[in-house]
Each structure stands twice: as C-alpha cells, then as structure tokens.
A and B are shown apart, each in its own frame.
Chain A
Amino acid sequence: EIVLTQSPGTLSLSPGERATLSCRASQSVSSSYLAWYQQKPGQAPRLLIYAASIRATGIPDRFSGSGSGTDFTLTISRLEPEDFAVYYCQQYDSSPEFTFGPGTKVDIK
C-alpha cells in the first residue's frame, strides 16, 4: 500500500496570503492518479485538482497543483475566507487501491 504523508499538519495564515501544502508518497505515484480535495466541517470532500494539476469543474484559478513522482504540492495563491478548511491528497495504485493522506488544516491566523 502506498502511504501518503502531508505537511504541515496545520497551516495558520491570514486571508490574502499564499498557502503551500505538501503531499509526499512512500513510492512513486503516476501524476495521472494524484488528486486534492477540500473538506469543510460537516461536509463531504470536494474535488479540487485531479491528475496532479488539472482543476476540477468550477474550481477557482487561485488553486493550482504541481509535482511528480513522490512529491506533490497544492498551492492557493491568495487565501479567501472560504478557503480555510482541511485539504487531503489522494492517490490510486494498481493494487488496485485508493489511499488518502492524513490532511492539512488551513486555519486563520
């Protein structure tokens, strides 16, 4: 099973600041199989990015994804008040299995 590690665990920032979230895999992951989700309290996760860098339908362009191999990054260029949430990365491997990272909480400083 591929294990995903996310850092930092919590990111305390102010609105308007840039957020950089990291997702590291225990083995190489195909970029096609790496996604990012946003989850707010009491809600289901929302797909933000798939195939490492493609924004899902309706996702603002302040969200961007990058990376390859074992290191992937989600960047929020300028935080809006609605962006304070928990962010998860997710990968698919050929076992086949899906795994999620433990999440990064972005909270208001």
Chain B
Amino acid sequence: QVQLQESGPGLVKPSETLSLTCTVSGFSIGSGYYWGWIRQPPGKGLEWIGSLYHSGSTYYKASLSSRVTISLDTSKNHFSLMLSSLTAADTAVYFCARHRDYTFDYWGQGALVTVSS
C-alpha cells in the first residue's frame, strides 16, 4: 500500500521560503511515476503547484514557476517542495500526491501552512 506523509513547519513568516517534504512508503519513488504537490487555501478549492518525474525532471504551474522548486531524494524515498517569497495568499493545506494516467491516485493527509508574522 502506497502511503505519503507531508512534513514541515506549520508557521512561516512573510517573505520567507517554505520547505516541505513528502515521505513515501510502500513504493520506491525512483522506480517510476510522477510525484506532485497540490494546495488548498482554507475553505477554497484545489490548486496544482508542480510535479516531478522519478528521473528528476520537473514542471510547474506557470504562475508559480518563479517561486517553486521541487526536488527528489531517492536515498530517503522522499521529494520536497520549496516555495519562496511567501505572502498570506500562500496560506493553505499542502498535499503531496502520486500521479499516474494524468490523475492523482495516492495523496498525503495534508499539512497546514500558515504565513504570518
């Protein structure tokens, strides 16, 4: 059974950089599939942030691309999200997920990140 778990700080200051990690169990992320990040502001809908392939190639939502980096660490079987220049608008629950067939089939439980001084 594939399981994903997000970890990282729950509170980050404006203008700083958010760093989140998604640890995967039940599957070796270097073996295949794409892995992605999606966020959901409180009470609002879902927004895809970006994804990477198991080889390390990445693609990002165009409007966020200047602030986003997603990377892979196969030795730890996890992948990470960095989002810079944070504002209150980045406050959200951040989900990591696996995707196949252009859908997200396994999700983490989500991590709430609040941007506030």
Contact = CB atoms under 8 A, between A and B. Distances in A.
Contacts of B47: 100
Contact of A45 (B36, B51, B102, B104): B104
Interface residues of A, number: 25
Interface residues of B, number: 20
Interface string A94-109: 0111111111000000
Contacts of B8: none
Contacts of A102: 45
Contacts of A88: 45-46
Given A100-B45, A101-B45, A103-B45, A47 B103 contact: yes
Nearest to B96: A44
Contacts of A63: none
Interface string A31-70: 0110101000001111100110000100000000000000
Nearest to A35: B103
A90 interface: yes
B33 interface: no
Interface stretch (B11-19, B20-28, B73-81, B107-115): B107-115
B108 A1 contact: no
Interface of B: 36, 45-48, 51, 59, 61-62, 95, 97, 101-105, 107-110
Interface of A: 1, 32-33, 35, 37, 43-47, 50-51, 56, 88, 90, 92, 95-103
Given A47-B103, A90-B103, A100-B47, 10 more contacts: A32-B101, A44-B97, A45-B104, A46-B107, A47-B104, A50-B102, A90-B46, A98-B51, A100-B46, A103-B45
